[in-house]
Every structure is written in C-alpha cells, then in structure tokens.
Amino acid sequence: MVTIIKRNSPKEYLLRWLGKLKYGITSMRFTMVATYFAVMLVTLVLMCIYVIGLLSESLYNTETVDMFAKANIIAMTVSDQWGDNAQLSELRFADTVDRSLAGTSIRGVITNTAYTVLYDTNKEAGLVGKAFMRDVLKRGLDGEQAEAYSESNGMKLLMVSVPVEKNGSIVGGVYLAKTMSGIEDTIRVTSTSLIVFSAMIVVLIGMLSFGLSYIITAPIAEFTRAAREISKGNFKYRIKVRGTNEMTQMADTLNYMCDELGLFEEKRRKFVSDASHELKTPMAGIKLICDSLVQAPDVDPAMIKEFLSDMSEEVDRLTRVINRLLVLTKLDGGMALKPDQTDMKALVDRAVRKLWGMAEAKNIAVHRLYSDKTFEPAVLDADKIYEAVYNITDNAIKYTPEGGQVYIDMQERDGFIIIRIEDTGDGIPEAERERVFERFYRLDDSRSRETGGTGLGLAIAKEAVTMHGGRIEISDGTEGGCAFIIIIPSDGGIHM
Ligand SMILES: Nc1ncnc2c1ncn2[C@@H]1O[C@H](COP(=O)(O)OP(=O)(O)OP(=O)(O)O)[C@@H](O)[C@H]1O
Ligand SMILES: [Mg+2]
C-alpha cells in the first residue's frame, strides 16, 4: 500500500498560521483576557505612581517641618545668647546647636547679617570667621522662613534658613542642611515592594481571567458544536454545559428546541409517508383497471363502462384526498385569519343544510337544539369555523348507523361559543380520542376508507379551531355514541 503524504508549502503553512493567529486574537477568550490584563495593568501602574508620589510628598513635608522646628528653636535660643564677644558666642552657640542637633545628621551654621560664620557644626570645614554665602541663607536673613533643595552627586539636600532676631531686628541667621538619602531609600524600598506586589497581582489576575474566560467561553464552543449538529438534522444531540445559570438555561432551551424540532421532523416524515400511501392506493386501483382493460382480448362495452366507472370512483377519491390536503396545508402554513362579524346560527345551519341529504338517506334525525336561541354575532373567520363544524357534523352522520340521532346544540358562556355535536353511533374509545385528530388516522381503517374517509377531517377541524385560540373536546354521548365539543372565544381570539 502506498501512502501519499501531502506536504504544505511554506506559504500555505504561513497562511494557515496567520489564519489561526487572527482567529485567536479576535476570539472572545483572548479579548476577555487582554481586557482584564490591560485594565489591571493600567490600574496598578496608576496606583503605584500615586502611592509613591503621596509617600514622598509626605516624607519630605515631615522632614521640612521638623527642620524648621529645629531651626526656630536654635534661632530663639541663640538670640538670647547673642553678644559682642565672638569667642564667647561661639562657645555658647556650640552648646545650644550641638544639643539641638544631637543624634541627627543635620549640619547647622549660625551667621551674622554679614554672612560671617559664627558657628558651624562641621568643624572640618573651618568656616568660622569666614563668609558663608547661600541663597537660602540670604532669604533667611531677609526675614523669611526659607527652604531649598539641591542635588549634587545624585544626593538630594534639604536646606532651611530662619532669621535670628534680637530686640525686633535681625541680627543673624540659622542655616540647617540635611541629605535626603534616608527618605530616598525609604521611597526606593517601598517602590520596589509595590512593583513586586503589583506584578504578582497582575500574574494572579491574568491566571484568574484566563480561567474565567475558559469557564465562560467553553459553553459557547459547545453551543457552536450543537448548532452545527442541529443544522445537519441531528435533533437527538444534547447540549451538556455546566456553570452559570444563564448558560444552563440557554442549554435547556436549546435542548427543548431540539426536542420540538425532532418531533416536528418526525411528524413531517410521517405526514409525507402517509400522504404518499393515501395517494398510492387509488393510483394502484386505476393502474389495475387500466392493465385489465389493456390485457383483456375483447372486452364488451358494458364491461368497459363498469371499469371506467370504477376508475372514476378512484379518481374522485384521489381528488378528495388532494383537496383536503390542500386545505390542510393552507391552514398549516399559518394562513392569516380573515375575521368578520359572524352569525353563528346561520353558520351551523348552513353546515346542517349541506348534510341534510346524507342524513335523510340514512334515516338519521338531525336535531337543531339551538334553533330557538339567539346569539350575539361572533368575530371569527367564518369559512374556517364552518369547515370545522361541517367536518364534525359529517362524521356524526357518517359514523352513526341508520335510524340514529344527531343532536347539535350551541350556547354562549363567559365569552366563549360552545358547539356540541352528539351522535348515537359507536363512539370513540377513550384511548383513541387524542389520536383521531392526527392526520390520516382512522379508527377502523377499512370501514372508514369504504365510506370515503380520508382521515383528514378532524385534523382540519382542529387546526381551524386552534387558530382561533379554541379547542375541541370529545366526551361520551348521552345515548351512546360520542359528543364533540367545539369551544371558541367569541372574539375568535382576535381581540378586534
Ligand atoms: N362521530 C364519530 N363517531 C365515531 N367515530 C368517529 C367519529 N368522528 C370521527 N371518528 C373516527 O375518527 C376518524 C377520523 O375522522 P376524520 O374526520 O378525521 O376522518 P374521516 O372521517 O375518516 O375522513 P374525512 O373526514 O376526510 O371524510 C374516522 O375515520 C373515524 O374512525
Ligand atoms: Mg370525517
């Protein structure tokens, strides 16, 4: 055996891969995951920026306030100690400033208004007696509570300066400076922790959104599969989904739809096969007659006439079936009702009149029990309701033996018209009462066929009545036989 392996060209491979990629990117799952991810990422980045900004502002503020507090305490203390003796002043200031700044990394400088340093905590700088020019100090000597930041060698410096006042005039200034490396370190450590924490959240949310998107989209894949199966005519397919209520509800609805479609399809098949069978029987009769005539060597004219009359009967039967099928298909096709004000008494009378001859021929008395009553005009499609009344009365006469009785009564009650057609025939067994409305269904097939029954009369009647929002019930007759009860809303379910 030779196996042919077809290799794809690189172009085909690339096109297929691109197709898959496009499908993946435009898929609901990808969109959901990407959206969750993007929203989460943007939120976390904004949150990090905001939190870090807030933290650094707060730390710098605290530090500045603390520096000003220290500078002002020093300024107040040195003001009391201010004197003409420079050496004595330095000694006093040293005590005050060193004590105030003990345990901190703050550098403190005291100057007079000529910017000459009177005391400097940084002894190594050797600035005492020399000029110390700083912009922030100038502002301090001008009477301002001055602050400034500078940055050198990647190190941030916070500087504050306040005036030293004695007897209402400015005699000098206090300058304090501190590196911000502590605060910067705190901000760096916090930022790193926040970023790591955010990254973990993003990964976690990413995994969760992937799982969630799978839970949500998995049923959709199942629905797609089901729709494909249903469109192929596989109505036995059942959708199995677990998860959210909406999805299981949708699956139940689709499964129900499948059941209904399956039943509908089964009915349609049965109808087609029954209809074909019904049409085939008279056709076979006609064929048989034709063959007999052709094969007979010499047939006398009387015989030909008899054969032709048999053939005519078969054609009549065929026509009857076809006509009834046409009526039924029209009703089935959801043909619009043509409602009108209808005199119900006249409608039933018309059906009785039409069947009077048949009743007389069988010596059956048809009692019009409604004849003395008066009725409001009903709003309904008279032709269709006439068809129903006619078919049921026709059955009552047809399936009642000679000399029997048929009672027809009518009444109006609670917005409904109730027509009761009772006979004294053989009746319909309880178990068959649903089935007689089925198409082509006959209780006694051969007998009904003999009487010319097509088995479509009650199907037509039921269709016409249900179109009006009504129903037909069957019960036992009071003198044997059975009673058909037609119940229709007097506005024909049309609410004009
Ligand atoms: N009043 C009745 N009494 C006894 N059996 C009935 C009665 N009405 C209907 N049936 C039974 O129900 C079957 C179905 O009735 P339906 O009117 O649909 O068909 P049909 O009378 O055989 O044919 P068609 O109405 O086309 O002439 C009948 O064949 C008959 O067996
Ligand atoms: Mg009938």
Instruction: Report the nearest atom of ligand 1 relative to the CA of 442.
Output: 29
Q: pLDDT digits over 213-246, tens only? A: 888 788 888 888 888 998 888 888 888 877 667 8
Contact 460, 324 (CB under 8 A): yes
Percentage of residues of the chain with pLDDT beyond 90? 47
User: Picking from 93-107, 366-380, 429-443, which range would have the lowest pLDDT averaged per residue?
Assistant: 93-107
Q: State the average pLDDT over residues 294-318.
A: 87
Between CA 229 and CA 253 the distance in angstroms is 16
The alpha carbon of 442 and the centre of ligand 1 are apart by a number of angstroms equal to 6
Rounded Cα distance between 401 and 397, Å, is: 8
> Which ligand 1 atom is the nearest neighbour of the CA of 455?
19
Q: Ligand 2 centre and the CA of 288: distance in Å? A: 28
What is the third-level CATH fold of 9-220? Beta-Lactamase (3.30.450)
pLDDT tens, position by position, 150-183: 887 778 889 999 999 988 899 999 999 999 888 8
DSSP run (H or E) holding 40 = helix 28-81
**Structure tokens given for 64:** 């500045």
Please report how many Cα atoms fall inside a 13 Å half-sphere around the Cα of residue 118, on the Cβ side: 32
> Which residue out of 390, 405, 458, 474 has the highest number of ligand 1 atoms within 8 Å of its CB and is therefore the one to mutate?
458
Nearest CA to ligand 1 atom 28: 442
Q: Could you please report the per-residue DSSP string of 108-166?
A: EEEEETT-BEEEES-GGG--TTSB---HHHHHHHTT--EEEEEEETTEEEEEEEEEEEE
Ligand that comes closest to the CA of residue 399? 1
434 alpha carbon, closest ligand: 1
Ligand 1 atom 25: residue of nearest CA? 457
Residue closest by Cα to atom 31 of ligand 1:
443
Close Cβ partners of 257 (under 8 Å, ≥ 6 residues apart):
none
Measure 390 CA to ligand 2 centroid, in angstroms. 9
* Encoded tokens for 167: 């007897």
Give this prediction's pTM: 0.61
Expressed in angstroms and rounded, the spacing between residue 398 Cα and the centre of ligand 2 is: 8
CA distance 10 to 236: 42
Residues at Cβ < 5 Å from ligand 2 ion: 395, 457
Q: Pocket residues for ligand 1 (CB within 6 Å)?
A: 324, 391, 395-396, 399, 423, 425-426, 428, 436, 441-444, 448, 453-459, 482
| Residue 482, helix vs strand vs coil | strand
Q: Is there a shared CATH topology between the 9-220 domain and the 245-326 domain?
A: no
Which ligand sits closest to the CA of 397?
1
By alpha-carbon position, which residue is closest to atom 1 of ligand 1?
396
Q: What is the pLDDT of residues 102-115, one digit of tens each?
A: 888 899 999 999 99
Superfamily of domain 336-489: Histidine kinase-like ATPase, C-terminal domain (3.30.565.10)
For the chain, the structural domain boundaries read 9-220, 245-326, 336-489
Q: What residues does 79 pair with on adjacent strands?
A: none
Class of domain 245-326: mainly alpha
Exposure string of 151-179, with b = 16+ CB inside 10 Å and e = fewer, is: eeeeeeebbbbbbbeeeeeeebbbbbbbe
Residue of 316, 424, 446, 448 to test ligand 1 pocket, by largest number of atoms within 8 Å of CB:
448
Do the Cβ atoms of 476 and 365 come closer than 8 Å? no
pLDDT digits (tens, 9 = 90+) for 76-101: 988 888 876 666 777 788 888 888 88
411 C-alpha vs ligand 2 centroid, how far in Å?
Answer: 24
Mean pLDDT over residues 342-358, rounded? 96
For ligand 1, the distance from its centroid to the CA atom of residue 392, given in whole angstroms, is 8
